[in-house]
Structure 1
Amino acid sequence: MNRRKQKKLTNRLVWAAAVGDTCTVRTVLRTGVDPELPEADGTTALYAASVHGAASTVRALLRAGALPNTESRGITDGTPLCGAAAWGHVATVRELLTHGADPNLREDGGAGSTPLFWARNGASGPHPETEAALVAAGATD
């Protein structure tokens, strides 16, 4: 696949993931595009889907080979699990944990906050159900 086509498909994949369009995500993945590739601003498809709570899209990306601990870098920094936890997307958090996301992985290259911090102090307030899911998976302070 040439570089231009790969870039265009990656952008389409990240956009579809961000809006939870699992059908389009699957279609783009069938072209052979790498689900780990970020778009130009550094956002990965898995991070975009996780932040928006698109659990079925997260599942499709993970099954296609997206790694649950890959951090987005650029405009949208963070791990998929931190992004999902910050907004209280408990189904997405559970999906990521089921596929091997590290419940104690700090964002910002290991120097930032944990998913548990975000579940407790998230962008939209504390999320006790998300916190409980993380603690059950071994998250600690």
Structure 2
Amino acid sequence: MKYMNIAWGAFFVFSLSACSHSGSDVVEDLTVMQLPVVQMASHTEKNDLPTLHTTYLENAGDIHGIIVFLKQRYLEGTSNKEMFDTHSQAHQVYICLTNLEQAGLLNRHYYDQHNAEGLLALHNQLKPVVMKMQAQIGLTPQA
């Protein structure tokens, strides 16, 4: 009988977590996203500067787009109290916004240092989040 109660308890907990967790969303992805720290291996060739600039601009655009998405989707109509409640979704979004601000600073640093590897690593971290964001708002990702 004791084992039956444990089994039902485990089933109940797992079924509740499955219902409340319908898949990872952008906030969850950004919460666990690690910003890449990449030391520059070699100086970028002059002919690679246009590629460097393009990657920098794409990263900056992606960061800006994610920030706008988060503010519109999760923060409109929230109260100041929610912002400071560590269990609220608004608080988690503010943490994500802080992480994105750091990503923007890192993007600029990599660009200023001509660190193509760092820019590409940041790009590879942001792209899955952008694709998930586009899917959530009904846009088809661009190839």
TM-score (norm 2): 0.24
Bigger relative CO (Cα 8 Å, ≥ 6 apart):
2
> Larger C-alpha radius of gyration, 1 or 2?
2
Give the structure with the higher percent helix: 2
